[in-house]
Structure 1
Amino acid sequence: MLTGLFQDIKISGLSVAVPTEKVPVENFNDVFGEENVFKFKEMTGVQSVSRAKPNQTASDLGYEAAVDVFKNSTISKDSIGILIFVTQKPDYRVPSTAFVLHKRLGLSENCLCFDLNLACSGFIFGLQTLLSLLKSSTSNAALLITGDTSVKTLSPHDRTMIMLFGDSGSATLVEKAKTNSEIRLSFRTDGTRFKSIVTPSGGYRNRYAPKDRVAWSDGILRSDYDTHMKGMDVFGFSITDVPLLMKDFMAAQQTTPEYYDFFILHQANNYILKQLARKLKIPIEKIPVSLDRFGNNSSNSIPLVLSDHFGNGNHGFIKIFICGFGAGLSFACGDLLLDTAVINPLVETDAYYSEAY
């Protein structure tokens, strides 16, 4: 278990942007059958998913979140020395979308920018990277943006994914500051299962795959340009490897579930959340849920839950345990004391960067 420890650094702002469109899963009754949709809803807990407009990218949603977080913060854009964008749906193959965001936000030239290709663990992996760079540099403030529009690489025929994944973006401001609290993060990786969640084509390994959708072994029509998830492999990983990491982390920190006010967990599906609660003896009321209205939002799951449930700022300081897990396979967890006053309410937007076209 790789662990990062950060002192005298705090989260000073957090905003999340979601598209205005919410698609009820019942809209898929004609595609997959009413009984199949009902079973899906009962198993996953998803009632609707957030959907980006055709011209709206992950960076558009991340940008709107960033605009909102600066609007509600005293941190100036000129003080940002590090910008990391976590996404699996970049604007271009070249350059990194972080540079597009740097331009749009009007950040200083004295700024380190790059993308991280991560999904459901991406917020915590991105936070570790951001905090490490901030700690070792002369910069006093940094910006982490996450964004995914998962729908853009999903087959409309894939009942296992098209009703599950939603689209959104987030922006988190971090700054150096004297504080008595710590941010502690831990990580594990299992690259032997990299094919468990994969989009086989679209990069440079499988460049000439046909784009026509054909029936795969599970009977679902896909092309190699569609994201594919081996459901049972990912499920087994989520209820076996992930709780083990969480237990090991709490043992190392000498904490128990009673120590935390809330567990902000990746919103994989409702059944997995219940399994994690059962295996770690977490009271279910300590696990806020947003997937019922927004679906699985990949790297944005953790900030989306925070904005959705604590964006009114009325909770004061909360001790939270965070955990994300998914493609890679990658899994991460951690804990921190967070002031809910820095968490902003959800922003709804259909805006996109017209200059990019």
Structure 2
Amino acid sequence: MVTFVTRGPALRGIVTAMPQRQDANRDLATLFGEEAVDKIIRATGIETRPVSDGLLISDMAVAAAENLMEGLGWTSDSIDLLVVVTQTPDYPLPATSYVVHGRLGLPMTTATLDLRLGCSGFVYGLSVISSMMAAGGLKRALLIGGDVINTMIAEDDRALRLLFGDAVAATALEASDDDHQIGFDLGADGSGVPHLISETGGVAKSGNPQLYMDGARVLSFSLRQVAPSVARALAVTGQTASDMDHVILHQANAMMIQSLAKKIGLRDDQVVEAVRDYGNTGPASIPLAMCDLFRGRASQYPVNLLLSGFGVGWSWASAVWRTSLPTYCEIIRLPHKDQV
């Protein structure tokens, strides 16, 4: 594990873009059976999910980032760093961040990179940006993350079809004069590779990407690694779970969030849950949950946030972050690509 503290950036805004198309899980009863669907909905808490319907990561990323920059009054030439986190890139190459960079009209001075990560990706991306801001004097950054994971799921896959939503979140981060810290714990266990994987779609094995997940092993891994990771992130910042105002865990499903909250020792009022209308949106799930939480709220006082993402790899990443509330948060819905 890698555990460290650095100066924390300020969270200025979040915009999440998702398709207008919303698939209701109950509508799948005709395919999978009413009893089976009801059981999955009760266990996961997921009722509807956005489905990409032809939209690419770059389509949603550009829409979210443009809305975010306009809402904050940020110009393209003020962005020092762009990080895109996705497992479903537009192309094998170039990296999707360069597609987004070009479509946003960002200057040549904007450093740009992809992180090929899943549900831990938002916190990993936050660690990269925080470290580069602290070390390199960068002022403004965009952290964009999300997947169109339904493109990797077969229509008759009962185990996965009701779980995942397609969305992309753009988060605006800015260097701050406030002496706020952010602490991270990052870890990996490559023995998890076979249990959450698309074997096809790469150089090793051609074909269309097809997601496979061993749900029991994912749950076991999460219950084993997340609470210790959270404890290390809290310890390195000298805080406890009770000091946290809001705890945003990766929004895999309601059962997992509640099980982890109990294992970490959280109060109900601390835990943020936003899976009902969105499902598991991968790298977008943590910022989407924050966006859902902070929309319409304003405060001059900073808050203590505990974030933890975990999943494919196995990988996990936790952060303890003191920051001001964002001044701009929106969730936007995009029509089918042919209608854009």
TM-score tier by shorter-chain length is over 0.9
Equivalent residue, structure 2, for 1:106: 105
How much has 1:82 moved relative to structure 2? 1.4
How much has 1:246 moved relative to structure 2? 1.4
How much has 1:340 moved relative to structure 2? 2.5
> Is contact 1:306–1:343 with CA below 8 Å preserved after alignment?
no
Superposed CA RMSD: 1.9
Q: Matched residue pairs, number?
A: 339
> Matched residue of 1:113: which SS?
strand
Identity over aligned pairs, percent: 29
> Is contact 1:142–1:175 with CA below 8 Å preserved after alignment?
yes
Once the two structures are superposed, residues 180-226 of structure 1 have per-residue CA deviations (whole angstroms, 9 ceiling, x without a partner) of 2112221110011111210001110112x6x7xxxxxxxxxxxxx31
Cα distance in 1 for partners of 2:8, 2:124 equals: 19
Identify which of 275, 280, 287 aligns with 1:303: 287
1:60-75 correspondence runs (5 A): 60-75=59-74
> Is contact 1:59–1:147 with CA below 8 Å preserved after alignment?
no
> Is contact 1:311–1:340 with CA below 8 Å preserved after alignment?
no
Letter in 2 for 1:30: T
Once the two structures are superposed, residues 141-161 of structure 1 have per-residue CA deviations (whole angstroms, 9 ceiling, x without a partner) of 221111211101011111121
Equivalent residue, structure 2, for 1:133: 132
Equivalent residue, structure 1, for 2:318: 333
1:199-238 correspondence runs (5 A): 199-207=198-206, 225-238=209-222
Equivalent residue, structure 2, for 1:35: 35
Equivalent residue, structure 1, for 2:12: 12
Letter in 1 for 2:271: I
Cα distance in 1 for partners of 2:97, 2:4 equals: 24
Equivalent residue, structure 2, for 1:26: 26
Equivalent residue, structure 1, for 2:246: 262
Equivalent residue, structure 1, for 2:306: 321
Letter in 2 for 1:37: V
Indicate how the Cα distance of structure 1 residues 179 and 44 shifts in structure 2: closer, same or farther if over 3 A, else same. Answer: same
Equivalent residue, structure 1, for 2:327: 342
Equivalent residue, structure 2, for 1:284: 268
Identify which of 202, 205, 224 aligns with 1:240: 224
TM-score relative to the length of structure 2: 0.94
Once the two structures are superposed, residues 47-85 of structure 1 have per-residue CA deviations (whole angstroms, 9 ceiling, x without a partner) of 11111122x012211211101110111332102121111
Question: Which segment is superposed worse, 334-343 or 176-185?
Answer: 334-343
Indicate how the Cα distance of structure 1 residues 130 and 80 shifts in structure 2: closer, same or farther if over 3 A, else same. Answer: same
Once the two structures are superposed, residues 318-356 of structure 1 have per-residue CA deviations (whole angstroms, 9 ceiling, x without a partner) of 21100100111100111112333434121122264999x
TM-score relative to the length of structure 1: 0.90
> Where in structure 1 are there 5+ consecutive unaligned residues?
212-224
Once the two structures are superposed, residues 113-167 of structure 1 have per-residue CA deviations (whole angstroms, 9 ceiling, x without a partner) of 1211111001011111122223333532221111211101011111121110001
Cα distance in 1 for partners of 2:336, 2:299 equals: 31
> Where in structure 2 are there 5+ consecutive unaligned residues?
none
How much has 1:278 moved relative to structure 2? 1.3
> Matched residue of 2:98: which SS?
helix
> Matched residue of 1:161: which SS?
helix
Indicate how the Cα distance of structure 1 residues 353 and 261 shifts in structure 2: closer, same or farther if over 3 A, else same. Answer: farther
Cα distance in 1 for partners of 2:59, 2:131 equals: 26
> Matched residue of 2:276: which SS?
helix
Cα distance in 1 for partners of 2:114, 2:264 equals: 33
Letter in 1 for 2:134: K
Cα distance in 2 for partners of 1:104, 1:178 equals: 31
